Amino acid sequence: MIVMEEAAYGYGTEPLLADLSLQLQPGSFHFLTGPSGAGKTTFLKLCYAELLPTAGRIQLLGVDAAALDRDGVADLRRRIGVVHQDCQFLDHLPTSENIALPLTVSGRATPDQAANLSELVSWVGLKSRAHALPPELSGGERQRAALARAIIMDPDVILADEPTGNVDWDMSLRLLQLLVELNRMGKTVVIATHDLALIRAAKSQVQARVLRIQGGHVTVAGADL
């Protein structure tokens, strides 16, 4: 799915991330941890080609990220669902249209897909909030809407950047449950979080690997959960 070979990235002269060499296998579940500013978000951005490595090589779904043209990047992002930390909604569109946005921009907004959308909105528990504008949603509702948008294109990989950062514990568990269900459907899941309690809570539900970013390097933290 995602292969990094001695990849590095830096915003200035000093690399933020260096010597990234790892493989995220299909159907695997990963937590990405590390202190604030360690580079978790940057790592995820490398995984959906918002950033390109300044050294080394990254293969995304079998394609060298550096070789992708702009249309290629757009097509890749239809196969990689991302839940952004700040959700990234279009505030002038209702929640249901925000969830359907990947379908809309890819020209796949068919009546069949509309039925799937309704099912998906129900699955994330937002049926009654489908017509609300994003600013009217609570933190948990926003995160669930972002998750729904991330999976509406039936992607191979789901990347979530601090999906439980602004929600209470119950909502965190609910979001985790949704991501675990997706993983059971065969999706590769990567969750960036600094919430160790969430990682512990996942232990009973899924076989996950914890990647720890520290000092610009990624290491596997202990044994798999």
For binding to other proteins (CB under 8 A), which residues are involved?
Answer: 48, 50-51, 70-71, 74-75, 77-78, 82, 84, 88-90, 92-93, 97, 101-102, 104-107, 109, 149, 153
CB 168 to other proteins: min, Å: 26
Burial bucket for residue 14 (CB in 10 Å: 0-12, 13-18, 19+): exposed
Residue closer to other proteins (CB basis): 149 or 209 = 149
Residue 51 and residue 42 in contact, taking contact as beta carbons nearer than 8 Å = yes
CB 132 to other proteins: min, Å: 16
Exposure b/e, 160-199, CB count within 10 A at least 16 = b: bbbbbebbeeebbbbbbebbbebbeeebbbbbbbebeebb
Residue closer to other proteins (CB basis): 107 or 222 = 107
CB 75 to other proteins: min, Å: 7
Residue closer to other proteins (CB basis): 57 or 79 = 79
Residue closer to other proteins (CB basis): 51 or 213 = 51
CB 2 to other proteins: min, Å: 17
Residue 92 and residue 80 in contact, taking contact as beta carbons nearer than 8 Å = no
